[in-house]
């Protein structure tokens, strides 16, 4: 049996889903967190039921790609749990009544029930159940209240099959229902209202946004550096290094296995950024340099998401983003890109037009460095002084804007206006923040670590075979002529296709000047997406547009790199 | 007695409340706004607008919605003036 969770965006379907199935998913306080369906299972008596979390939709007549996914899924459902935001009954019932017209049994979960009390909303659920003709169960996804009752009453799901001649008739019916079941009482102005008013204000909102972003950067750097200085570096220096040295002696301090596992010794010692063995650099970069920043970034992002700040940022950024052929909501995939470009490109589905999706995905691939790359840039370029890191970020930001301005004119198609619901501020539910953080960090370890190790292995083998010398000689004119980089850097640049963090690591032993480091890391960030992003770009844009996007990246990287070489 | 003043939502002052009379747009726009609960007969309060013809934030029922400036100017509102 297939059970679909359907409802408006941001009503808590994903939280209910993880409650029902025990599967962890990513839930946030903004519309459009889920852009594709996710399956899990639930034991119902003797039967095993398949539960499917769908992207939120306001209506069954889809207006975006994510909504299309939801409408398509409807065909496969045997039962629908319609998740309704209890604080917003009228608008949510529009979808409910549309669902009740279909020949599929429906049960209603009246979610965010706890919020109705704060907001002075009283709903007569018995009456609502009677008027709709299907079971209505009050639930609170984040605490689990009402979930057991929901599961117990699943078999009672009903198919009233009432149809309405027009949407006006449907709205009239909704008005009638709401007036019978809901009463509002006075509520006090709270801290939430004050903050909401502040972030809506055009000037206050901008100041507030700068404060939020500054605080976010500070928190990320504080946590990231904290973990590196107090956890991962001590662990590696005091525990791992002695072990590796012993292993090195056992391997005879040289030879094939020594070079593969431990790598070259630097002045008789292991240099974690330079030795390039599987067990030295291969483990150190992902776990000791990148992981701390992944944890820090996703912790900060999780809080921003769950508080409900991102849609407000979208409103604030709308005017600027329109110049780039996007609208405000594109800020959400963009921010996700600072973690990893893969989910970011997938999240471009929340944008309505093909033009917007192409521009957003291309700009993310060019101008938004992922957390792994950033951690390495801060680690390596930062050694020369933070002003050089600032030049790298500044160049990326400028390219992001300029390429956006150009693409907006060059790409055919339309960019629709912004239209989004702004969720109320909510105190982040720590369970949701924690689970989301764990899920994202775990998927980094699971998906990135094997690729990192594979990349280090490939690098070692290609070195031994002398392939790199060959490539370096071919690329020498472009690199030295245009970019002012030694020809060996081409090796790092091409390895960037596999993993960008390792690629930056490969720059470390080359003894580059600060200027050369700035140029090579900027080019590395812009030139190609890594292989994982490549796959997703192809899937989301199609092969043709992916090739176009790649051409733009190559050209942009060469131009920006050459300019840096001339100016710096 | 109340007077009748009609304004486009984009022209309203922040904090003003009124009733939507008409949406001057194609079926697509009407449907998308309707899905968010913005339709003729509803009370709306304009909360704010961003500078440089940026988006307009409004409240209907308990929901806050932000819409583009162009869209906001297609929504005709009769302003409540209690006198």
Element housing B13 (H / E): none
* Pairwise CB contact (< 8 Å): B63 & A63: no
User: Tokens for B75?
Assistant: 């929504």
Our CA-based measurement puts residue B36 at a distance from the nearest CA of chain A, in whole angstroms, of 6
State yes or no: pLDDT of A37 exceeds 80.
no
ipTM of the complex: 0.90
CA-nearest of A7, A58, A60, A68 to A420 is A58
- Measured CA to CA, the distance from residue A101 to residue A97 in angstroms comes to 7
Of B50, B61, B62, the CB nearest to A316: B50
Using the CB atoms, write b or e for A526-535: b if 16+ within 10 Å: bbbbbebbbe
Our CA-based measurement puts residue B63 at a distance from the nearest CA of chain A, in whole angstroms, of 7
Predicted confidence band of residue A541 (pLDDT cuts 50, 70, 90): very high
What sign has the CA pseudo-torsion A522, A527, A532, A536? positive
Please tell me the class of the B5-79 domain: mainly beta
Interface contact A534, partner B, CB < 8 A: no
Rounded to an integer, what is the distance from CA B11 to the centroid of its chain? 9
A300-321 tens-digit pLDDT = 998 998 888 999 999 999 999 9
- Contact of A363 with A388, CB cutoff 8 Å: no
Look at residue B83 in the predicted model and tell me its pLDDT. 44
- Measured CA to CA, the distance from residue A48 to residue A219 in angstroms comes to 44
DSSP E strands: which ranges in A37-103?
38-44, 47-53, 79-85
Contacts of A23 (CB under 8 A, 6+ apart): A17, A38, A40
DSSP-derived 3-state class of residue B77: strand
* Pairwise CB contact (< 8 Å): A419 & B64: no
Interface contact B35, partner A, CB < 8 A: yes
Our CA-based measurement puts residue B52 at a distance from the nearest CA of chain A, in whole angstroms, of 7
Decide if A193 is inside a domain: no
Which of A184, A219, A247 is a domain's end point? A184
Longest CA span, chain A: 84
DSSP-derived 3-state class of residue A57: coil
Look at residue B22 in the predicted model and tell me its pLDDT. 92
CA angle (A464, A465, A469) in 5-degree steps:
95
- Contact of A512 with A486, CB cutoff 8 Å: yes
What sign has the CA pseudo-torsion A122, A127, A129, A133? negative
What chain A residue is nearest to B42 in terms of C-alpha separation?
A175
- Residue A156 maps to which CATH number? 3.40.50.300
A192-234 tens-digit pLDDT = 778 888 888 888 889 999 999 999 999 999 999 999 999 999 9
A166-180 tens-digit pLDDT = 888 999 999 999 999
Q: Are residues A229 and A146 in the same domain?
A: no
Contacts of A121 in chain B (CB under 8 A): 62
Q: Are residues A276 and A238 in the same domain?
A: yes
Q: Are residues A146 and A236 in the same domain?
A: no
Own/partner pairs for A536-542, CB < 8 Å, 24+ apart? A536/A341, A536/A342, A536/A345, A536/A346, A537/A345, A537/A361, A537/A365, A540/A345, A540/A346, A540/A348, A540/A349, A540/A357, A540/A361, A541/A357, A541/A358, A541/A361
Interface contact A417, partner B, CB < 8 A: yes
* Pairwise CB contact (< 8 Å): B55 & A328: yes
Alpha helices in A308-410 (DSSP H): 310-323, 331-337, 341-347, 354-367, 371-380, 386-410
Interface contact B22, partner A, CB < 8 A: no
CA-nearest of B15, B36, B14, B13 to B23 is B36
If one compares A16 and A36, the residue with the highest pLDDT of the two is: A16
Our CA-based measurement puts residue B18 at a distance from the nearest CA of chain A, in whole angstroms, of 18
- Contact of A522 with A389, CB cutoff 8 Å: no
Q: Are residues A362 and A501 in the same domain?
A: yes
B38-63 tens-digit pLDDT = 989 889 999 988 888 889 999 987 78
Q: What is the 3-state secondary structure (H, E, C) of A382-396?
A: HHHCHHHHHHHHHHH
Considering its fold, how many domains does chain A have in total?
2
Our CA-based measurement puts residue A301 at a distance from the nearest CA of chain B, in whole angstroms, of 22
* Pairwise CB contact (< 8 Å): A419 & B53: no
What sign has the CA pseudo-torsion A411, A416, A417, A422? negative
Rounded to an integer, what is the distance from CA A302 to the centroid of its chain? 10
Q: Are residues A529 and A405 in the same domain?
A: yes
DSSP-derived 3-state class of residue A355: helix
Predicted confidence band of residue A551 (pLDDT cuts 50, 70, 90): very high
Predicted confidence band of residue B1 (pLDDT cuts 50, 70, 90): very low
Using the CB atoms, write b or e for A197-206: b if 16+ within 10 Å: eebbbbeebe
* Pairwise CB contact (< 8 Å): B32 & A311: no
Q: Are residues A57 and A135 in the same domain?
A: yes
* Pairwise CB contact (< 8 Å): A421 & B63: yes
Contacts of A419 in chain B (CB under 8 A): 32-33, 36, 65-68, 71
CA-nearest of A191, A394, A386 to A307 is A191
Our CA-based measurement puts residue A430 at a distance from the nearest CA of chain B, in whole angstroms, of 25
Contacts of A174 in chain B (CB under 8 A): none
Interface contact B20, partner A, CB < 8 A: no
Percent residues over pLDDT 70 in chain A: 98
User: Tokens for A118?
Assistant: 């704060």
* Pairwise CB contact (< 8 Å): B51 & A315: no
- Measured CA to CA, the distance from residue A290 to residue A287 in angstroms comes to 6
CA angle (A222, A507, A335) in 5-degree steps:
40
User: Tokens for A332?
Assistant: 């959400």
State yes or no: pLDDT of A542 exceeds 60.
yes
Secondary structure (DSSP) of A504-521: HHHHGGG---HHHHHHHH
Element housing B20 (H / E): strand B17-23
Look at residue A140 in the predicted model and tell me its pLDDT. 94
* Pairwise CB contact (< 8 Å): A63 & B35: yes
Our CA-based measurement puts residue A3 at a distance from the nearest CA of chain B, in whole angstroms, of 24
Interface contact B30, partner A, CB < 8 A: no
Paired residues of A108 in beta bridges: A82, A136
Q: What are the φ and ψ backbone dihedral angles of A449, each rounded to 5 degrees?
A: -55, -50
State yes or no: pLDDT of B82 exceeds 80.
no
Percent residues over pLDDT 90 in chain A: 55
A441-496 tens-digit pLDDT = 998 898 889 989 999 999 888 888 888 888 888 888 888 888 999 988 988 888 89
Of A87, A319, A416, the CB nearest to B54: A319
Contacts of A541 (CB under 8 A, 6+ apart): A357, A358, A361, A549
Angle between helices A89-100 and A167-181 (to 10 degrees): 120
Residue A422 burial (CB count, 10 A)? 25
For residue A173, what are the domain limits? 2-184
State yes or no: pLDDT of B2 exceeds 60.
no
A358-413 tens-digit pLDDT = 999 999 999 999 999 999 999 999 999 999 999 999 999 999 999 999 999 999 98
Decide if A208 is inside a domain: yes
Of A119, A201, A205, the CB nearest to B62: A119
Interface contact B39, partner A, CB < 8 A: yes
User: Tokens for A419?
Assistant: 């239209």
Average pLDDT of chain A, as a whole number:
90
Interface contact A91, partner B, CB < 8 A: yes
- Measured CA to CA, the distance from residue A140 to residue A426 in angstroms comes to 14
Contacts of A409 (CB under 8 A, 6+ apart): none
Q: Are residues A387 and A515 in the same domain?
A: yes
Using the CB atoms, write b or e for A159-186: b if 16+ within 10 Å: beeeebeebeebbebbeebbeebbeeee
Which of A184, A211, A240 is a domain's end point? A184
Per 3-state DSSP, what percentage of chain B is helix, strand, and coil (rounded to 5)? 20, 40, 40
Of A91, A416, A417, the CB nearest to B36: A91
- Contact of A116 with A86, CB cutoff 8 Å: yes
State yes or no: pLDDT of A185 exceeds 90.
no
- Measured CA to CA, the distance from residue A110 to residue A407 in angstroms comes to 44
Report the DSSP pairing between strands B75-79 and B5-8.
antiparallel
Decide if A326 is inside a domain: yes
Decide if A554 is inside a domain: yes
Residue A323 burial (CB count, 10 A)? 11
Predicted confidence band of residue A160 (pLDDT cuts 50, 70, 90): confident
State yes or no: pLDDT of A136 exceeds 60.
yes
Q: Are residues A360 and A249 in the same domain?
A: yes
Domain boundaries of chain B, sorted by first residue: 5-79
Interface contact B67, partner A, CB < 8 A: yes
Residue A229 burial (CB count, 10 A)? 11
Look at residue B3 in the predicted model and tell me its pLDDT. 63
Contacts of B71 in chain A (CB under 8 A): 417, 419
* Pairwise CB contact (< 8 Å): B33 & A318: no
Q: Are residues A175 and A208 in the same domain?
A: no
What chain A residue is nearest to B69 in terms of C-alpha separation?
A417
User: Tokens for B3?
Assistant: 């007077």
* Pairwise CB contact (< 8 Å): B66 & A63: no
């Amino acid at each position: 049996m297939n059970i679909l969770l359907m409802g408006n965006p941001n009503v808590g379907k994903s939280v209910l889903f993880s409650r029902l199935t025990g599967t962890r998913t990513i839930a946030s306080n903004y519309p459009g967190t889920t852009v594709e369906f996710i399956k899990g299972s639930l034991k119902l008596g003797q039967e095993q039921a398949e539960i499917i979390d769908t992207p939120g939709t306001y209506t069954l007549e889809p207006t975006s790609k994510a909504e299309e996914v939801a409408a398509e899924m409807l065909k496969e459902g045997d039962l629908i749990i319609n998740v309704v935001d209890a604080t917003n009954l009228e608008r949510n019932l529009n979808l409910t009544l549309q669902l009740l017209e279909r020949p599929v049994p429906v049960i209603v979960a009246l979610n965010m029930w706890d919020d109705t009390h704060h907001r002075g909303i009283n709903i007569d659920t018995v009456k609502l159940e009677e008027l709709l003709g299907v079971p209505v169960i009050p639930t609170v996804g984040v605490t689990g209240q009402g979930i057991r009752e929901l599961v117990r009453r699943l078999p009672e799901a009903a198919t009233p099959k009432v149809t309405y001649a027009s949407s006006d008739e449907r709205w009239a019916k909704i008005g009638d229902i709401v007036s019978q079941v809901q009463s509002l009482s006075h509520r006090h102005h709270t801290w939430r209202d004050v903050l909401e008013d502040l972030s809506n204000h055009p000037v206050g909102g901008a100041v507030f946004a700068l404060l939020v972003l500054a605080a976010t950067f500070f928190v990320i750097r504080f946590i990231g550096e904290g973990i590196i200085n107090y956890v991962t570096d001590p662990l590696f220096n005091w525990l791992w290094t002695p072990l590796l040295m012993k292993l090195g002696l056992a391997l005879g301090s040289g030879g094939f296995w020594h070079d593969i596992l431990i790598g070259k010794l630097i002045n008789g010692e292991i240099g974690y950024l330079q030795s390039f063995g599987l067990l030295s650099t291969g483990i150190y970069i992902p776990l000791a340099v990148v992981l701390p920043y992944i944890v820090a970034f996703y912790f900060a992002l999780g809080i921003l998401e769950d508080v409900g700040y991102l849609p407000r940022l979208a409103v604030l950024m709308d005017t600027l983003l329109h110049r780039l052929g996007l609208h405000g909501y594109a800020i959400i995939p963009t921010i996700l890109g600072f973690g990893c470009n893969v989910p970011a490109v997938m999240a471009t589905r929340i944008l309505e037009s093909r033009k917007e999706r192409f521009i957003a995905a291309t700009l993310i691939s060019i101008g938004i460095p992922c957390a792994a790359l950033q951690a390495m840039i801060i680690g390596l370029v930062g050694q020369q002084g933070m002003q050089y890191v600032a030049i790298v970020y500044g160049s990326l930001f400028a390219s992001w804007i300029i390429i956006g301005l150009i693409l907006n004119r060059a790409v055919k198609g339309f960019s629709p206006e912004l239209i989004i619901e702004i969720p109320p501020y909510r105190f982040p539910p720590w369970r949701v923040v924690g689970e989301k953080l764990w899920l994202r960090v775990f998927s980094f370890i699971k998906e990135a670590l094997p690729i990192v190790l594979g990349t280090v292995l490939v690098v070692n083998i290609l070195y031994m075979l002398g392939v790199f010398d060959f490539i370096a000689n071919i690329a020498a004119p472009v690199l030295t002529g245009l970019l002012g980089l030694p020809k060996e850097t081409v090796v790092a640049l091409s390895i960037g296709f596999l993993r960008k963090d390792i690629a930056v690591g490969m720059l470390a032993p080359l003894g580059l000047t600060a200027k050369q480091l700035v140029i090579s890391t900027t080019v590395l960030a812009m030139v190609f997406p890594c292989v994982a992003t490549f796959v997703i770009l192809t899937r989301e844009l199609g092969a043709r547009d992916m090739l176009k996007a790649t051409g733009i990246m190559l050209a942009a990287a060469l131009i920006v790199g050459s300019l840096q070489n001339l100016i710096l | 007695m109340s007077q009748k003043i009609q304004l486009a939502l984009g022209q309203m002052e922040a904090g003003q409340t009124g009733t939507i009379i008409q949406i001057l747009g194609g079926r697509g726009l009407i449907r998308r706004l309707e899905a968010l609960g913005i339709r003729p007969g509803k009370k709306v309060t304009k909360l704010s607008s961003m500078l440089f013809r940026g988006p307009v934030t409004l409240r209907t029922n308990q929901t806050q919605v932000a819409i583009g400036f162009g869209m906001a100017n297609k929504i005709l509102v009769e302003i409540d003036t209690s006198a």
